[in-house]
Structure 1
Amino acid sequence: MKRALTGALLAGLLAAAAHASFAAGDIKAGRAKAAQCAACHGIDGMSKLPEAPNLAGQTEEYLVKALNDFRTGARKNEMMTMMAKTLSDADVANLSAYYHSLGKQ
């Protein structure tokens, strides 16, 4: 019983630490930066192109991971890699906050 409680407590602490380490972005700054994303991902985060995913309403954590994976090459797409490499950590957080704020459409 003690091991189960310890395991549950540890899992909760790890989840809280992971969430706490996630830096929330600035929605207004993300909206301004998103102008360069609109050609492929749509003005409202809803793509008109079948090869470009919708970004509106995605979780911030998912968007941060996806952009960072493009930046490092862990995720492959020539256009996205080129675009993501120009982004600062703040840009990534801000864009992620902005697209999340749009909600699922």
Structure 2
Amino acid sequence: MAATILRAALAVAVAAAGGPAAANDIDVGRAKAVACAVCHGPLGISVQPDAPHLAGQPAFYLATQLRAFRSGVRKHEVMAVIAKPLSDDDIANLAAWFSAIRIEASPPR
């Protein structure tokens, strides 16, 4: 009985402290995205002519593409290596970070 109460109290304490990082965590995604900055830029605006901008893309789209690279369904020599070790939480966090970046566009005059 005491062990059950202790486990329940520990669970409440962990939940109150925020618990482990949940998927879709923008801050965790931002930290993980440091490796992405080489090609996609520190704020998701590409610095390479053959790398797409990630900033402002829908989270669903980003997560779908990362899972496709990870599984090998979508082919790209570099992205296959980068995406292979990503967990589902890593992908959700990265997607949350890049989708949270707001960009503005103006039509040409």
Aligned length: 83
Offset, 1:24: 5.7
- The structure with the largest helix share of the pair is 1
Residues in 2 aligned to 1:24 and 1:62: alpha-carbon distance in whole angstroms: 16
Q: Partner residue of 2:70?
A: 71
Structure 1 runs (4+) deviating above 6 angstroms are none
Residues in 2 aligned to 1:90 and 1:56: alpha-carbon distance in whole angstroms: 19
Q: Partner residue of 1:3?
A: none
Please give the per-residue CA displacement for 1:49-77, whole angstroms capped at 9, x wherever unaligned.
Answer: 11110000000000010000001111000
The 5-angstrom pairing of residues 72-87 of structure 1 reads 72-87=71-86
Gaps of at least 5 residues in structure 1 are 1-22
Residues in 1 aligned to 2:99 and 2:83: alpha-carbon distance in whole angstroms: 18
| Cα root mean square deviation, aligned | 1.4
TM-score by length of 2: 0.73
Residues in 2 aligned to 1:38 and 1:44: alpha-carbon distance in whole angstroms: 7
Identity %: 52
Q: Partner residue of 1:11?
A: none
Offset, 1:103: 2.0
Q: Partner residue of 1:57?
A: 56
The 5-angstrom pairing of residues 34-49 of structure 1 reads 34-49=33-48
1:89 and 2:88 equivalent?
yes
Contact 1:58 1:103 in 2 (8 A): no
Contact 1:33 1:95 in 2 (8 A): yes
Residues in 1 aligned to 2:102 and 2:50: alpha-carbon distance in whole angstroms: 21
TM-score by length of 1: 0.75
Query: Which letter does structure 2 place at the counterpart of 1:101?
Result: A
Offset, 1:86: 1.4
Larger Rg: 2
Gaps of at least 5 residues in structure 2 are 1-21, 105-109
Offset, 1:104: 2.8
